[in-house]
């Protein structure tokens, strides 16, 4: 249950393992072993997935994949479909025409694309040549009309489509057929640098032409005829909390090696024991020392690690009428939270060199990363004086103003130890400056839908999943649009940020774009948009015979190659 960045929007992670929060591997502990790292070593660059050639992967087998909860929405482009669990499930079944590589660069997937080229810069035109063998499970070829329908659904022109985001689609002026139905010509009304992140994932025109299908057709389960991947949907058991996909006989590429993938919905707190008893094929460790230590004790286990694009943060609710509406108050409160303590408490024993993240748009390992977090450097005395200046004075142990106490509600999902630990630390630290934090643990199954997405919180903790197109995929989080939330759940922003986002998305020169992006980040810190905590290196525990899977870092999985060594 974690939203993710992908094309129109980001995916967030509410818990840890299912959220993709991870830590580095370490040595020792029972019969387990740890990849190529020793305890406390930093994660490796690129990724660590035990790569094996396709012909060296055993044919067959079941792969038991843990998720936090069954997705509430299987259309990843719909507002409620941005959870990372949804991405894990649907990436086996729907076209990702571009896939991230270990260096955080998008590359065309030849199963779907023969080529994708910027064929003009004035106006900007992108020409896609589709693999002529690519077909939806209905038998209809994937063609230019699928691109056209997705553009029209996601460009914001029809409010009946409840979309996760419009970035990239709102600057397309036309989608037309080229020389054949499998040649797609996309013309932009203004320059859009992250064009490779558009149409990810691609859904068919049958979904994108009808708001009812778009919003409701994918709620209970995937629509098999409207998917096109190496796997297809077989069944979902809401009672057992399992969803099964099986090898797709209509797939035109190399057949998937696995017979099936079974997605098993479990609270993150229960996943370590489930992995230990063989009920799961792997365990995402997350920033949990206890999970890390538990994984080390499991016989015949390796822990694979890599730098990842994902990060934890605290979202603040600054919507009109909220107690944290004033940016000066948000900044004062942020100064009362020691991010170093949060970071070290969660991943320090695993990654001793870990430090807080300092950029909302780039993570360390991506070109352009600069730390601008000094504006909220931990300083409890300054926090106290700033709150005093705002009229929030101590009355007993809690500050008050105009008869109202400074009490903020920290909403977290149940069964997520990382969020629980973070909220307790924040509660203790803010009590020291006279701010009372009430922790409200809510059901994890509807954490996003009933709380985060609708602004039913004062502060909340989860993680964002990164992509190779961080500007366009993050825009929906930081753009403030009247009467629309999108993924800016705290309703915090200003026109300066909106204008800079437009500039950054339109700048085709990467070096110039990085300058603009860092200006955006400085402004986000200045207005107290959200408090970043730490970047999560990937850490995954699994058996040594699991191949082409593990700590994927910035890359996307090739679902056809996941499996077991011969």
Give 208-241 pLDDT, tens digit per residue. 999 999 999 999 899 999 999 999 999 999 999 9
Q: What is the pLDDT of residue 44?
A: 52
- Percent of the chain's residues with pLDDT above 90: 73
Cβ atoms of 520 and 478 closer than 8 Å? yes
- Which domains are assigned to the chain? 308-536 (3.10.105.10)
What is the chain's length? 566
Peptide bond into 384 cis (omega under 30): no
> What are the distances in angstroms from CA 168 to CA 6, 151, 187, 501?
11, 9, 11, 11
Report the pLDDT value the prediction gives residue 394, as an integer from 0 to 100. 97
pLDDT band at 350 (very low <50, low <70, confident <90, very high): confident
Report the relative pairing of strands 407-413 and 436-442 from DSSP bridges.
parallel
Q: Where are the beta strands (DSSP E) in 360-489?
A: 393-395, 398-401, 404-405, 407-413, 436-442, 459-465
**Which residue has tokens 């900044």?**
331
Query: Mean pLDDT for the chain?
Result: 89
Which one is predicted more confidently, 288 or 425?
425
> 45 pLDDT band (50/70/90 cuts)?
low
Lowest mean pLDDT among 148-162, 222-236, 467-481: 467-481
Please determine, for residue 18, whether its predicted confidence score (pLDDT) is greater than 90: no
The pLDDT, as a whole number, for residue 484 is 67
Is the per-residue pLDDT at 448 higher than 80?
yes
Q: Is the dihedral of CA 386, 392, 394, 396 positive or negative?
A: negative
Euclidean distance between CA atoms 319 and 321, whole angstroms: 6
Q: What is the pLDDT of residue 11?
A: 52
pLDDT in tens, 527-555: 999 999 998 878 899 999 999 999 998 88
E strands, 459-562, where? 459-465, 530-542, 546-547
**pLDDT for 21 beyond 60:** no
Of residues 415 and 183, the one with the higher pLDDT is 183
Please state the rounded mean pLDDT for residues 305-310: 79
Q: What is the mean pLDDT of residues 405-415?
A: 96
pTM score = 0.75
């Amino acid at each position: 249950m974690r939203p993710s960045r992908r094309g129109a929007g980001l995916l967030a992670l509410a818990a840890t393992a299912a959220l993709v929060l991870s830590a580095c591997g370490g040595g020792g502990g029972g019969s387990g072993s740890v990849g190529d790292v020793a305890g406390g070593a930093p994660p490796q660059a690129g990724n660590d997935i035990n790569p094996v050639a396709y012909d060296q992967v055993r044919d067959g087998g079941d792969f038991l994949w843990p998720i936090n909860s069954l997705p509430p929405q299987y259309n990843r482009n719909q507002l409620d479909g941005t959870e990372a669990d949804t991405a894990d499930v649907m990436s086996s079944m729907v076209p990702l025409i571009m896939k991230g590589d270990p260096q955080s660069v998008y590359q065309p997937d030849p199963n779907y694309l023969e080529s994708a080229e910027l064929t003009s810069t004035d106006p900007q035109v992108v020409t896609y040549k589709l693999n002529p063998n690519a077909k939806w499970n209905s038998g209809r070829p994937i063609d230019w009309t699928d691109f056209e329908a997705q553009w029209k659904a996601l460009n914001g022109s029809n409010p009946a489509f409840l979309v996760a985001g419009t970035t990239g689609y709102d600057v397309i002026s036309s989608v037309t057929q080229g020389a054949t139905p499998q040649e797609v010509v996309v013309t932009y009304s203004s320059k859009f640098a992250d064009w490779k992140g558009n149409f990810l994932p691609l859904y068919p025109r049958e979904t994108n032409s009808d708001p009812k299908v778009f919003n409701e057709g994918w709620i209970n389960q995937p629509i098999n005829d409207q998917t096109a991947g190496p796997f297809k949907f077989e069944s979902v058991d809401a009672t057992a909390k399992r969803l099964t996909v099986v090898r797709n006989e209509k797939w035109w590429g190399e057949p998937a090696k696995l017979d099936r993938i079974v997605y098993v919905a479990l609270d993150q707190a229960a996943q370590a024991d489930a992995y230990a008893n063989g009920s799961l094929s792997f365990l995402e460790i997350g920033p949990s020392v206890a999970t890390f230590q538990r994984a080390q004790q499991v016989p015949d286990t390796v822990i694979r690690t890599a730098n990842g694009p994902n990060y934890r943060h605290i979202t603040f609710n600054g919507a009109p009428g909220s107690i944290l509406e004033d940016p000066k108050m948000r900044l004062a409160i942020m100064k009362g939270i020691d991010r170093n303590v949060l970071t070290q408490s969660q991943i320090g024993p695993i990654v001793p060199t870990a430090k807080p993240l300092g950029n909302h748009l780039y993570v360390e390992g991506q070109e352009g990363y600069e730390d601008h977090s000094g504006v909220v450097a931990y300083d409890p005395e300054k926090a106290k004086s700033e709150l005093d200046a705002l009229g929030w004075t101590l009355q007993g142990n809690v500050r008050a103003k105009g008869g109202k106490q400074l009490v903020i509600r920290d909403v977290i999902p149940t069964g997520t130890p990382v969020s629980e630990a973070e909220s307790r630390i924040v509660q203790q630290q803010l009590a020291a400056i006279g701010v009372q934090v009430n922790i409200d643990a809510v059901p994890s199954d509807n954490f996003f839908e009933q709380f985060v997405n609708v602004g039913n919180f004062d502060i909340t903790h989860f993680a964002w999943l990164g992509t190779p197109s961080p500007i366009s995929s993050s825009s929906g989080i930081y753009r403030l649009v009247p009467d629309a939330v999108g993924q800016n759940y705290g309703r915090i922003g200003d026109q300066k940020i909106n204008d800079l986002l437009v500039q950054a998305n339109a700048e085709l020169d990467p070096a110039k774009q990085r300058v603009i992006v860092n200006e955006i980040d400085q402004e986000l810190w200045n207005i107290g948009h959200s408090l970043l905590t730490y970047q999560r290196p990937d850490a995954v525990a699994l058996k040594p015979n699991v191949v082409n899977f593990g700590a994927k870092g910035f890359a996307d999985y090739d679902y056809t190659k996941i499996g077991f060594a011969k």
